[in-house]
Amino acid sequence: MLCRQQVAELSEYEDQFKAQQSRLAVIGPGEAVHLPEFRKITGFSSDLFADPSREAYQALGFSSGIGKLLGLKPLRSALSAIKAGIRPGTLQGSALQLGGAAVIGPGNELRFLFREQQAGDHPPVSALLGAVSAGE
């Protein structure tokens, strides 16, 4: 549910990323069969990929574990998601996998990397946009 919230928020900024000639992509830990439903729920129209083996998550050093799903921050994030109209749905991939965000480019330069420490710990979209504009 919290990843849906993050991607729904990103969808509101897709035009700003495109205006900076950047490619916005989301990689989820589920199967490709879930992507159309995920796109419909989040309103995300940019690139969407499935990584059920979680190789991209491992390459970026994103963590996982039950302890990262518990606590006040994840609870607050879940309540915020529900308030925003995001509801829990069918589990798509590992429920224990945390995510993050990366800005790569130009070329293969890693300009920004954010790793969630707890579920719902999302980077501000303004930080992503700032990293994109710094690469121009």
pLDDT along the chain (136 residues), means of 10: 78 93 89 91 93 92 73 65 65 71 88 86 91 78
Q: Which helix (H) or strand (E) holds 136?
A: none
Q: Determine the pLDDT at residue 105.
A: 85
Question: Mind listing the domains of the chain with CATH numbers?
Answer: 2-123 (3.40.30)
Longest C-alpha distance within the chain, in Å? 39
Q: Determine the pLDDT at residue 49.
A: 94
The first and second tokens of residue 1, run together, are 């549910």
Query: What type of residue sits at position 130?
Result: G
> End-to-end CA distance of the chain, in Å?
33
CA distance 73 to 57: 22
Q: Determine the pLDDT at residue 1.
A: 45
Lookup result for tokens 């829990």? 88
Residue count (the chain): 136
Q: Determine the pLDDT at residue 14.
A: 95
User: What's the pTM value of the predicted model, to 2 decimals?
Assistant: 0.76
Beta strand 47-50 pairing with 25-28: parallel
